[in-house]
Structure 1
Amino acid sequence: MDDTMDIETTEPRGTKRTADDAGLPSNEQRRIRALDPDVVNKIAAGEIIVAPMHALKELIENSVDAGSTSIEILVKDGGLKLLQITDNGHGINVDDLPILCERFTTSKLREFEDLTAIGTYGFRGEALASISHISHLTVTTKTASSSCAWRAHYSDGKLVPAKPSQSAKPKPTAGRGGTQITVEDLFYNVPTRRRAFRSSSEEYAKILDVVGRYAVHCSNVAFSCKKHGDSGSSIATTAKSSTIDRIRQIHGSSVANELIDFNIEDTKRLGFKASGLVTNANYHVKRTTILLFINHRSVESSALKKAIEQTYSTFLPKGGHPFIYLDLEIEPNRVDVNVHPTKREVNFLNEDEIIESICSEITTRLAQVDSSRTFMTQTLLPGVPKESDIPPSDSATRRTSSQKPYENNLVRTDSRVRKITSMLPSLAAVSSTQLDSTNQTEDIERTNDGLHYETTDRDPLRIGLTSVKRLRATVRSEMHNGLTELFSTHTYVGLVDERRRIVAVQSGVKLYLVDYGMICNEFFYQIGLTDFGNFGVIKLDPPPKLIDLMQLGAEIERSEHYTTNHPSTVEGGTTQSSSQNDEMEEIFQKAPEIVSQTLIDRRDMLDEYFSMKISDEGELLTIPLLLRGYVPSLAKLPRFLLRLGPYVNWTSEGECFRTFLRELAAFYTPEQLPPPPSQPRKPEIASSQEGEDETATPTSQEQSQGRETREEDSITTRRSQLIRMLEHVLFPSIRARMVATNALLGGVVEVADLKGLYRVFERC
């Protein structure tokens, strides 16, 4: 007996067949002809009604268009067995019931031109037609002028009798005002589609998501949704509930308690108005939740979602995502809602500019409340070890398991551990100028940095300048994700070299050296863009004359110029010609007057946008305050003012703002300090050596020594002040707000990796 078995060879599944193999008619018989209307209707139904949630969305929109103030939804088996929606709208006229479920029958559209001014949800008249082709549809409706309700049954877009022996015409029945639509056995004649649904609970969750979106957005409309047979509702909102209360009922108090509102509009140029609620930095989850409504229509926009997530990336920890409710109203003639069968996506003009405006407004609102981040705390129970006694992991989170981490994964510096510097008294800022900073949100108080802060009644300025938005967009486009994450999660270690402006920071198990001069320059520039037009002020009392400061700056520039062009340093051993020296000397003499007059002529703009007040007499009253608790070096003020003349482009708006903010950032950047003396200064003056001036009197020597001592004391004070501000002001702010750009890669150098060091020691 043969043990082998004959196996019939067949073509693999999915193999494309030719028309002849498929048994289609020959070429002569294959002619183009119109599809049967029943086939057309079923194709359309499959495009529009993909799942029960899509059918419900269409029905909800019809109910809202009908002026309903109460919508009740009943669901069985995830909407596949039963999907019923009841509203109290104006109802349907009995004479319109025969064509209610025919395709392209609508009360919201008359001419093609009406498409450019659509103010309702539905307009094509395909929803009920599509639903009737794939389910058993029953409509019960009553208008205010009707003496009774009318009930009609539909199949394939036409009226059908409730029972075989009855008439198909609508029948009078008892009912309340409004409309009730009952959809039974959805996809009963499309078995492939029906088998694709995995579970009724999953479909019910999608239905709750749709109901929840419209329940949040539709004010003055009460919503309720429940399963068939349940006594309680899964969603229940009242008509008078506020938007925040609706979010609290549907999404929970953890979201509602952390919401901030925003409003922005540009009706003249972009023709839009946006408002909504977004969560602050206290709230974050693993996935972004965005409720987007464009002209009150629930839609999706991947571009807007990506832009908002990018905006939140600088405020939330890695892996954290926000909750957003956005109501965007655009002029109807700028929107095309007819690009998707279910109207899930829409096209509108100036999409990039509108998204940029919305993200910029969200950034501004988040920056205003970023300092108010709160955390939940709990007292440890007796016998429970302190959190600082538990070794943190790479992500600085508590390990829930009892497994001991490997030594090469331990972070040696933890920001939560108390440092010895916190036990020392704070260093007061010493300055001969009384500094009064004006802040928009803080009460009058004396802080531990020695500065006096007070509030002002000035309203925040809403910036809608295209030039500023473009500068902000340029920064976002140059963002380096890895470097931004490093700064947002770093731990400050300490100052390494104040002359070369280098500090050490730690991120994870790696140690980096950072050029804080380069980093702070970019950081203050970004603050200038973010807080543009809303800076605090530092008052100068008594106010100095601009011309005096300019002349002092010119003297500094003159001395550096002649030092640089000394005969021994000029290339080729030649000095500048006398004509060149005369020309430079003329520039140094005229520059202070020209630049000071330029600033006086533009004092209104400087006050409005940069909080730099200049009196009519040319006195400098205030300079901008960029960061609370940080005092810039006032020794750099003369050169900063002088550079505002030749280094700021006053002819172009965008370039003017960019160059001015760059100069302002350079002024705020911490200065280079000489290294501390290695040995204490001797009180005696060394004896005169050969070649020294022996005619100097003791009085002049004592004066020179006193001047040098005062300079060293001021440098020592500034060094102590800078050490404190770097650790407690600058780098905490950089951690919260910095968007690291590609240009900063040269300012960060990795010097140690704990895992790499362990590998080295293992080989030794």
Structure 2
Amino acid sequence: MSDAMEVDSEVDGPRGAKRKADVLDDNTPQRRIKPLDEDVINKIAAGEIIVAPVNALKELMENSVDAGSTTVDVSVKEGGLKLLQITDNGSGIEKEDLPILCQRFTTSKLQKFEDLQTIATYGFRGEALASISHIAHLTVTTKTRDSECAWRAHYGSGVLVPAKPGQSPDPKPVSGRQGTQITVEDLFFSVPTRRRAFRSPANEYNKILDMVGRYAIHCAGVGFTCKKHGESSKGISVSPNASCLDRIRQIYGASVANELTEFETEDDQWGFKAKGLATNANYSTKKTTLLLFINNRCVESTNIRKAIEQTYASFLPKNSHPFVYLSLEIDPRRVDVNVHPTKQEVNFLNEDETIQAVCEHLRSKLAEVDASRTFLTQTLLPAGGRAASSTQALPPTASSKTTPSSSRRAPPRNETSLVRTDTNLRKITSMLPPARPGGDTSNPPSRLFQAPVPESMDFETAPEQRQPTACHLHSIKELRAEVREDMHNELTDIFANHTFVGIVDERRRLAAIQAGVKLYMIDYGRVCYEYFYQLGLTDFGNFGVVQFQPPLDIRSLLSSSPSLLTEYEEEEDDEEEDLGPEEKAKIIEAVVEKLIERREMLLEYFSLEVSPAGELCSVPLLVNGYEAPLAKLPGFLVRLGPCVDWTEEKACFESFLKELAGFYVPERLPPRKVTKDDDDGCLDSADEREEDAKTEVEKRIDRRRRDVRWALEHVLFPAFKARLVGTKSIMEAGGVVEVADLKGLYRVFERC
């Protein structure tokens, strides 16, 4: 016997090791493929569908609603593991159907596979009762309207079984009211390992309460009750006549119901209707509560949840979340309901477009309702050092807490927690003296500010007159997904809840913002570049138009440009290589030919119109209220030739949008010119003559400086709150740097 064991050990080798063919002998038994026993198959399937008591409840409750019930009563013992009973007043089950009621794939809602494309009921596969009968003791008592009595049947492993040993398994007549009562006892008795995994019946009962509450809110005209077995008090009790708002008030409390905003939208193009209730900016909680129903089925969707949280990021303080009830009705032909064993998830066509449309509508509703809120704040009197209490109306994006009544006495002042909430307060730039050019006074103004277009040329900005078109291009969707994957959550929150402080350095394009109690230095050139690129992806194919009257001759425009090969963002002391007239003409002609060749695509996707003769009629308009630096227009057109990949769709769109974003980024502005008064009249006669010669150029620079400052404060930085996704690439490029922490500064001052 020991020898045989030694031989087997040598042949088989260690457990899990592969056996070589030359090691096997003729006496080694072959492993054959055999079908599993039917009972094993059914228990495996049951374990996939009924994961916890709440899954069994969901299936049974949906069957009750499908049966036309107006009342659904749920009774639970030990979290549903000992007893789970659902009683309804629906249409009931015919006696003749009871023998096959718990067999797998028996249903009255589906006859052929094509019916899945138009399914409009909760259940359709006929697996719920069959799965429950394999892992629990199941009893069904039912009565139809035409039946003289109710019938009770007991099930085990999918078939009728006797109530007691020795009795007949056939259904027994009993007294009862119309409807169906399903009793599930000793759930998972045949799967002891899973049963032992449920250590807290109270936790399972809370899950059941949550599920009943969700369907109680959604199913209008149906009353729901849920309680522990043997107790008179009910965890949930909702009348059939209660409105949706009243149901939320009963289940989730008045604090949620009082702050709800109703919304409703639809889109025939994407084939959906959406309606629901969402809390406004005056309510927030630590965790998002999303009640999502798609075609009346309670489901989960990570994409929808993230999109809603991102929408609310512009309205709620950091680490605050909303309550949202959303019901989506989608054309059944667009929905695949058979993708999850518990029907917890569904797939549907045009998911991204549908989510975007719903969130944009929700954002507009929130903006209408939450135009302003009342805050009790403390401000410092301009002439004194004491604090004064005042009530201010602040935008919903301010990171302050609401106070129920403005008449309440202000809390004790805590300087280490003060947060800037009013953008009209004194800016940092008002504390900085005008920059003195020093030794640079002799240098001429940068060519950035020499107008590259004829003085007689006029242009106007106008939005597109055509209807917005949805983007179906897979390449654009991939580029949008790449931005989402590169998202930096903390940086996105900073931009969504920041307060603009002021411009620090226009030459280096630096600005200061405050978020919470921290001060950040922002490279607004790098951030604007990312914002305009994301804006190009979001509004792809729907850009506005900057029209030139009359159109610009591209050849003349490029010929008048000081350089064709250097960017307009380089340092002034960089050396540039001069080109001969022939080389310059070749570059210009190659650029013009490429633009003319691609002019139909440029006009359709980017609103950049080029005439067959090589005239520039329009360029894209990305943001209303901000004018792109026209001095960079020649450089932008030149870079469209060699810097855009015209051979591949995705690379073409990506490179073009990045060049467009670079064109729109505010230019570097030189230091402010010092006047005679600023320098105490110390300029000599030569300096005065040079100053007079540059007067017109300096005026143009000053006008541009005022325009850029205004646009940054009132257009671009407010837009960052609503639409900018902070990315890891901004952080890696040093675009955002923390320079001060209010609490840390106070600790330093205290030590001093």
- TM-score, length-normalised on structure 1? 0.68
State the one-letter code of the partner of 1:718: R
**CA positional deviation for 1:705:** 6.7
Residue matched to 1:680: 676
**CA positional deviation for 1:638:** 4.1
Q: CA 1:113 to 1:726, structure 2 compared with 1: closer, same or farther past 3 Å?
A: closer
State the one-letter code of the partner of 1:679: T
Between the aligned partners of 1:562 and 1:583, the Cα distance in structure 2 is 21
Between the aligned partners of 2:213 and 2:286, the Cα distance in structure 1 is 20
1:117-132 superposed matches below 5 A: 121-127=123-129, 130=132
Verify: 1:234 aligned to 2:242, yes or no: no
Q: CA 1:375 to 1:649, structure 2 compared with 1: closer, same or farther past 3 Å?
A: same
Verify: 1:624 aligned to 2:612, yes or no: no
Q: CA 1:57 to 1:395, structure 2 compared with 1: closer, same or farther past 3 Å?
A: same
Question: 1:649·1:655 contact (CA, 8 Å) conserved in 2?
Answer: yes
Verify: 1:662 aligned to 2:658, yes or no: yes
Between the aligned partners of 1:654 and 1:628, the Cα distance in structure 2 is 27
Residue matched to 1:731: 717
Give the match's secondary structure for 1:234: strand
Verify: 1:463 aligned to 2:467, yes or no: no
Question: 1:69·1:221 contact (CA, 8 Å) conserved in 2?
Answer: no
Q: CA 1:210 to 1:303, structure 2 compared with 1: closer, same or farther past 3 Å?
A: same
Equivalent of 1:556 in 535, 553, 561: 561
Give the match's secondary structure for 1:290: strand
Q: CA 1:123 to 1:554, structure 2 compared with 1: closer, same or farther past 3 Å?
A: same
Q: CA 1:82 to 1:365, structure 2 compared with 1: closer, same or farther past 3 Å?
A: closer
Residue matched to 1:257: 261
**CA positional deviation for 1:315:** 6.5
Between the aligned partners of 2:568 and 2:533, the Cα distance in structure 1 is 31
Verify: 1:748 aligned to 2:736, yes or no: yes
Residue matched to 1:6: none
Q: CA 1:170 to 1:749, structure 2 compared with 1: closer, same or farther past 3 Å?
A: closer
Between the aligned partners of 1:562 and 1:354, the Cα distance in structure 2 is 40
**CA positional deviation for 1:365:** 4.7
1:515-534 superposed matches below 5 A: 515-534=523-542
Q: CA 1:360 to 1:653, structure 2 compared with 1: closer, same or farther past 3 Å?
A: farther
Residue matched to 1:27: none
Verify: 1:152 aligned to 2:152, yes or no: yes
Structure 1 residues 58-115: Cα deviation after superposition (integer angstroms, max 9, x where no partner)? 212323454x2645335466766673332434x4222222343456655567899999
Between the aligned partners of 2:200 and 2:172, the Cα distance in structure 1 is 38
Equivalent of 1:86 in 74, 88, 100: 88
**CA positional deviation for 1:649:** 3.2
Residue matched to 2:482: 474
Residue matched to 1:374: 371
Residue matched to 1:496: 504
**CA positional deviation for 1:152:** 1.4
Between the aligned partners of 2:96 and 2:682, the Cα distance in structure 1 is 113
Give the match's secondary structure for 1:630: coil
Structure 1 residues 612-661: Cα deviation after superposition (integer angstroms, max 9, x where no partner)? 45677776554433223223333333443444344333333322322222
Question: 1:511·1:752 contact (CA, 8 Å) conserved in 2?
Answer: yes
**CA positional deviation for 1:45:** 6.9
Residue matched to 1:180: 180
Residue matched to 1:319: 319
Between the aligned partners of 2:653 and 2:592, the Cα distance in structure 1 is 23
Bigger CA drift: 397-406 or 288-297? 397-406
Between the aligned partners of 1:75 and 1:564, the Cα distance in structure 2 is 72
Q: CA RMSD in A?
A: 5.5
Between the aligned partners of 2:137 and 2:719, the Cα distance in structure 1 is 60
Verify: 1:719 aligned to 2:705, yes or no: yes
State the one-letter code of the partner of 1:590: E
Between the aligned partners of 2:462 and 2:614, the Cα distance in structure 1 is 22
Question: 1:364·1:530 contact (CA, 8 Å) conserved in 2?
Answer: no
Give the match's secondary structure for 2:125: coil
Between the aligned partners of 2:318 and 2:494, the Cα distance in structure 1 is 11
Question: 1:307·1:355 contact (CA, 8 Å) conserved in 2?
Answer: no
Question: 1:286·1:320 contact (CA, 8 Å) conserved in 2?
Answer: yes
Verify: 1:416 aligned to 2:416, yes or no: no
Residue matched to 2:58: 57
Equivalent of 1:544 in 550, 558, 569: 550
1:84-123 superposed matches below 5 A: 84-89=86-91, 91-101=92-102, 106-107=107-108, 121-123=123-125
State the one-letter code of the partner of 1:518: R
Question: 2:73·2:225 contact (CA, 8 Å) conserved in 1?
Answer: yes
Residue matched to 2:143: 141
Structure 1 residues 666-714: Cα deviation after superposition (integer angstroms, max 9, x where no partner)? 222112222112233899996679xxxxxxxxxxx99x87662222222
- Aligned pair count reads 656
Verify: 1:505 aligned to 2:513, yes or no: yes
Q: CA 1:742 to 1:111, structure 2 compared with 1: closer, same or farther past 3 Å?
A: closer
Question: 1:490·1:507 contact (CA, 8 Å) conserved in 2?
Answer: yes
Between the aligned partners of 1:637 and 1:563, the Cα distance in structure 2 is 10
Question: 2:136·2:189 contact (CA, 8 Å) conserved in 1?
Answer: yes
Q: CA 1:164 to 1:499, structure 2 compared with 1: closer, same or farther past 3 Å?
A: closer
**CA positional deviation for 1:419:** 1.8
**CA positional deviation for 1:520:** 1.0
Between the aligned partners of 2:648 and 2:558, the Cα distance in structure 1 is 26
Give 5+ residue unaligned stretches, structure 1.
Answer: 1-32, 268-272, 425-430, 440-455, 690-700
Question: 2:521·2:739 contact (CA, 8 Å) conserved in 1?
Answer: yes
Q: CA 1:149 to 1:668, structure 2 compared with 1: closer, same or farther past 3 Å?
A: farther
Question: 2:265·2:275 contact (CA, 8 Å) conserved in 1?
Answer: yes
Between the aligned partners of 1:98 and 1:550, the Cα distance in structure 2 is 86
Identity rate of aligned residues, in percent? 41
Q: CA 1:688 to 1:415, structure 2 compared with 1: closer, same or farther past 3 Å?
A: closer
**CA positional deviation for 1:293:** 5.0
Equivalent of 2:494 in 471, 486, 492: 486
State the one-letter code of the partner of 2:57: L
Q: CA 1:518 to 1:160, structure 2 compared with 1: closer, same or farther past 3 Å?
A: closer
**CA positional deviation for 1:414:** 0.7
State the one-letter code of the partner of 2:371: T
Between the aligned partners of 2:703 and 2:294, the Cα distance in structure 1 is 57
